Structure 1
Amino acid sequence: MLIDRKLLVVLLLLLSFVGFGQKPSRAENAQNIQIDSLLLKGVIAMDRANFDEAIANIKKAEALSLESKNSSNEAISNQLLTKIYYELGQYELAGPYILNAIKLHQELQELNNLGQDYIIYSQILIKTGNSEKALPFLENAEIIYQNQRDENSRVQLATTYLYEGNIYQELKQDEEALTRFQEAEALLKKTQSKNNYLLCRVYLQEGKTNLQLGQLDPALEYATSAHEISLNNNYPQLEVDALNLLSKVHSERKEYEEAFSFLSLYNQKRLTYFGDANNNVRNTAIRNALLANINADDYDPGKRVQANKITTVLIIALFTILCLLALSLYKNNNLRAKANELLQAKNAELMIAKENAEKASVVKAQFLSTITHELRTPMYAVTGLTHLLLSENPTEEQKKHLDSLKFSGEYLLSLINNILDLNKLEADKVEVEQATFNLRKRVDDVLFALERSAQEKGNKLTLEYDEEIPDQIIGDPLMISQILINLIGNGNKFTRDGDIFIRIKQLSRNDTQTYLHFEVEDTGEGISKKKQKDIFQNFTQGSVQINRKFGGTGLGLSIVKRLLSLQKSKIELESTLGKGSKFFFDIKYGLAKSKANEPEERVYNIDYEALKGRKLLVVEDNKINQMITRKILEKNEMECEVADNGEIAIEKVRFEPFDLVLMDIHMPGISGIEATQKIREFNKDLPILALTAVTIDENIDDFYLAGFNDIIPKPYKVEEFFFKIHNALKRKNVIL
């Protein structure tokens, strides 16, 4: 039975702690007292099996909980209503209440109550013939109670194992069922309080399962233990079940006298506890009782007439009651049929909504896959041409602008990757790089990149930099650049003829870490209190008017929030409408072991002399990309040939010697993957690198399976480009 007589005590304790830590208003306090009172009345009525009164009180408590937005009491109400309807066998009414209780307890993180919800819902599923669907809910309850250490949690976990075992037994998975029952037994034996009823049920199930597996000795042992507990604690149903099991076990052991003895005792006890004897015995008992009460007055004809009248009235009354009962059943069946139709309609709507959501997700993934490649391809030209121009002895003024262009290109590439790979960013799967870098140089680069746009709006950028900050720190340099560009750019966007202050201060420092505080403050438009809560959401700005006036996607602050979260920090905001805004955050960075001559970011160990004279084949259909890749290679005195597509590449490799192939993936005709697979049919050793703008729907492992030795994602850093070429040639012993 789901209704526990101890539930009243538990509920009293629970209600006494609802809202602990918050001081409700007088009106809220009065309403909470009223809800508690109704719930207690309901529980008391449940204990007395007065279910109509219990339902009425608990439904009133539920309505008041909804009105006062008291989710905890609403969840309790739903759980109690579920238990009542379960006891009444009205499972279709119990289902929606327990599902709502699960939802509320999940939101409230009330794990013990959530575990009970899962167990209750699993029993409803079992009763309605959905045993397999009940298993996941029992497994959820198992996870919850495994993490608890109190006495009640052990009992609940044992109950969960018992129900799981029953399901596996029903599914004919007896070995799995026996494991669950044994785990339940072990837990119950560890509990200090006696849970004899539950232990007796476990012994019975262990006995039945061992019997099914042909393990007769343990089956007899468990059946005997269950029988002893049922006798000592007056559990009639369990006693009858134990006698039946003992009879079957002795029969399988070919101990037929003992089997017959227990079978006779089983029939006797079953009739005693749950039914009358046969009709002859019953009729005899009735006749003897009548004869014992006959006297002379019973033969009076007047009294006989009066008795007949009373009998007629009773028959009419009985017939009327039966008619009313039939009418009530008819109405209930109609209501149940309508409820089933409504549920089926809602399920159909949910299925359609699910299909639409899945289609939208596929369309989104396809769009992101296409746009990723389309954006990265021109970015390759931007970064590649910037590198080439920097290597052609520009003037100091030109070099300054090219450095700014290179920095902006790196930032834009990172922004493209983060925005387009939404699934990766939202799942917090973007990796934080740990590189040594100069923070002051990074900040200066950001300010230089944004200086012109600030001047155009009449704004002044002012940096307040703590000189105590070490020259070289360890962290992700690109992430801090992205964060500052977004915050300073945001301040510049909403400020005109004003000031933007960038403050970076060291809060503390030890031998291995420095703790830094960053602030970006502007004297611009400011943000209202109402909008401050939503400003860090995707595609959110202060208002439609602000969007039209200042432009932008509304993604900048959302990206800032996510990037800081990846670095175990968070963005905070202080703002007054019309006076400006201040964004601030704190980050911990590691310290480099040596400050002197510390290289910034990654160091690539490349023997450029060994690369000179090596012959490479570049397979690329984009003419600009061909030119850039060729020039970068030839600048290092490497020989380079170009193939416009995969078919030409295959023929060139077949008839000409090459030290390495750089293969694009997306080309007209056959793809780079197909071309590589065909080359591998006649040349297993030639190093082939994928030089491609990888899309989000491509699995990196597929490249290696196709025969590629490595992947160089476009656009790339030139140092990384040569580093991968050098490694590939070295692994194949082309160079030493």
Structure 2
Amino acid sequence: MAKIKPHLFIILLLLTSTVSAQRTLEEDPEIVQNNINYRITQSQTELENYHYYNAQKNLDEALELAEKVGNKKSIGVIYALKGRLQLIIQQEDKAIKSLNKAIEIQRIINDNKNLGHSYKTYGDVYVAKQDYFAALDSYTAAKSKFEEENLNESLAETLLREGKAYYQLRNYKKSRDVIEQALAISKKYDYYKIQSEALNNQAIVYSKLGNTEKAIVAALEGLNIANKHNFTNITNDNYLIISDLYSNIGNYKLSLKYLKDHLKLSDSIRGLNRIYASNNQETQYLLNEEIEKNNEIVEKLEKAEDDKSLGTLISILSVALITILSLLTLSLYKNNNIRLKTNNMLHKKNGELIIAKEKAELASKTKANFLSTVTHELRTPLYAVTGLSNMLLEEDPKPEQVQHLKSLKFSGDYLLTFINDILQINKIEANKVDIEPEPFNLKKKINNIILALNNSAEDNDIKIHFEYDQELTENFIADQLKISQILINLIGNSIKFTKGGDIWIRVYKINEAGKIYTLRFEIEDNGIGISQEKQDHMFESFSQGSIQINRKYGGTGLGLSIVKGLIDILKGKIYVKSELNKGTTFYFEIPLEYTSVEEAQETQNNYFNIDKTDLDLSNVKILVVEDNKINQMITKKILSKMDLQCDIIDNGEEAVKMIRENNYNIILMDIHMPGISGIEATKQIRSFDKTLTIFALTAVTIEDKMHEFEEAGFTDIIPKPFKQDEFEKKLYNALAKKKNASSNA
């Protein structure tokens, strides 16, 4: 046997020792657990500093180690932290999956402390999804665990979040009571951060309950604590709350002082916001689709307006409409191509499936962005088509031109309906439709829908019969707007396909679980019916019975697809039963929450029927902020017809300057402009004038930006293209309110 040389023996010994030491490090449970704990702590630090990618990386590494050694407690904590991270980066559905895994493990091992935190995060996820009732259930479960473990700080924080959820549900008294519980605990144990934030929220609630004096006392106490302990963000919020409270009681000097403090502090922490925005980009796909404006059409329209050439205007509007239809066709073509490519990718096998899935998700986002951009851009030229065709019809056109203008108007209105339907389907498919529950009277709501559709029914010689179960309560909490849209679509369909017949609408209860009633809605007609073959595709987009039916009865084939999407969102099901030439029955089942609270009554005065001769329009000053030349022309024409004069400016910066230097009664503010947007301009205006009437003129769907409009301080919204009578009503309404406020002052 050959001898090993001494130096080689030493090297071999060192290598063996190193491997042995490494194996010891890897296998020693204490060392592994320390490694897991270190990565969990690091991930929490990264989360607090907005480094989401690094936090995710640490959590993934910690999870791999924890699963390797089978440490269930650590696995539960890691999944809970993953859920919190996914909530922050707005991946709520993924957060729910992670939290479900955490809760499942924590229940089995009785880790009540961490289980409570998981329930609390679960509640935060539901708040982000605006499902406040589900959030309250989660917060209740969290409170139970924190009480068992005597975790008073976590209990106080959960109570505060519960109070905020009640506030969102407009249950201000319950919100006040719960926040007071959080405040009591935080005072007892000196949890100063929770205490100052609770006082802020208490002030907001007291203001809603009409007790401004108590609200100011609470807000000032909260400010004192926040300043003393350097809670910068809470202090910043507090300044704004106090400014609003003093403004409400007319103390504008103090209101301005606190507003200036808020703006000054906002500047100092803006750097932190930039860091957040920068890191948040790690979770965003920035997809931008731009459609250039047709300058040639703009120039021709302006020239035609100058020449007062009605024939030229009609021709150009027709060309514009054809252009819009072409763009819409292109968008649908691209949409279908994306869908086909997505389906092909999803049929890939094995290893390619993951890549295909990622590409499919990206394709879906691309489709959503493309459709959203195209349809929003189409609204701008539609503003010209519908606006000018309406005006021309009212300006005594030649008899031979009337039919052309009516056809143009009909086409514009039809296309607008088509665009709105596409936008809604796009939102449904992208999971961007929010549920907005509120108390309402279901029977009254359906009666109002029948009343609104009765004229159309009478035109078709139809009788509508409404049967509401006598033993069924009338008051429920649900999203009444979505239920209305479902019923309007289904009843409207029955009216369209029934001539000289009957329609029956029935509502009754099929199940009850506590306060949750499952109701069945039936819409039956004795119209033309639907073949079995067509029933299989009834709820697909662009589905019609046949080309002949489409030509005879009209419609885009999107209504039932929207209905199906809305019912899915409401956690319901829809069915169809039909026979050719005998009629059709649509019935859907949705869960609704019973309530003893009656529907809120409108308390504001209605100015729509005001005598316009009572308004002195001679001194009314209106500023139109709009960069599009055609829109400027149309808006000016409408205002002139109302005997109102206006100034026109084409950018936000100049608008703010002119409003500072002049006394305007009404501002009509476009949203998308060069330089600062209409939203930013309005925020600047609100810093020095809180009462000026500012309308947003916007081509986006209102729901998409409603929260931004409210935060910016717009008085109301006028969507483009607008109907002239609705436009006039809103303007006269605003002027009447101003007059009424002046007379009561």
TM bucket normalised to smaller: 0.3 to 0.5
- Which TM-score applies when normalising by structure 1? 0.39
- Which TM-score applies when normalising by structure 2? 0.39
Bigger Rg, which one: 1
